[in-house]
Amino acid sequence: MIGRLNHVAIVVPDLDAAASLYRNTFGATVSAAKDQPAHGVTTVFVRLDNTAIELLHPLGADSPVAKFLERNPSGGVHHVCYEVDDIYAARDKLKADGMRVLGDGEPKIGAHDKPILFLHPKDTNGTLVELEQVSA
């Protein structure tokens, strides 16, 4: 059901410094920062040959990653994102297998303008998992 690894998301306390590290030290291609008000984050994508790194920074006091950063002031891995062909079929199969989908269970539009869902980390070995539909 899951396809390739789409990205690994890392919450960072200083988005400019993190982007600079990947751009100037690691020599990666780094996008411009983009505010995602619907998600309460500012994102930067680091493009790699086989996947991407999504750098996340809180956007506003109600950001869902603000509490993560409070608990982990140096930042850290927040979630992994796997691609799926059909987000609804994936959701229905996972729910039938006892997995919990976060929120109301309906896909939302993510930072790539594609449907996404998150799975409860208690059901996925302690890792927050995002599923992103990549087909049209």
Question: pLDDT by residue (tens digit) across 62-71?
Answer: 899 999 999 9
Q: Give the model confidence (pLDDT) of 109-135 as tens digits.
A: 998 899 999 999 999 999 999 999 997
Q: Round to whole Å and give the CA distance between 82 and 22.
A: 22
Cβ-based neighbour number of residue 74 at 10 Å? 8
Looking at the chain, the number of H-run helices and the number of E-run strands are 3, 9
Q: Residue 79: is its pLDDT beyond 80?
A: yes
Domain enclosing residue 16, as ranges: 5-133
β-strand pairing of 76-84 with 129-133: parallel
Q: How many domains does the chain have?
A: 1
Q: Residue 136: is its pLDDT beyond 70?
A: no
Q: pTM of the predicted model, to two decimals? A: 0.93
Q: Which of 54, 83, 130, 132 is flagged as catalytic?
A: 130
Residue 132 designated active-site: no
Q: Round to whole Å and give the CA distance between 103 and 91.
A: 12
The domain that holds 26 is classified in CATH as 3.10.180.10
Which residues, other chains included, contact 65 with Cβ-Cβ below 8 Å and sequence gap of 6+? 11, 40, 41, 56, 57, 58, 78
Q: Give the model confidence (pLDDT) of 49-59 as tens digits.
A: 999 999 999 99
CB 128 within 8 A of CB 118: yes
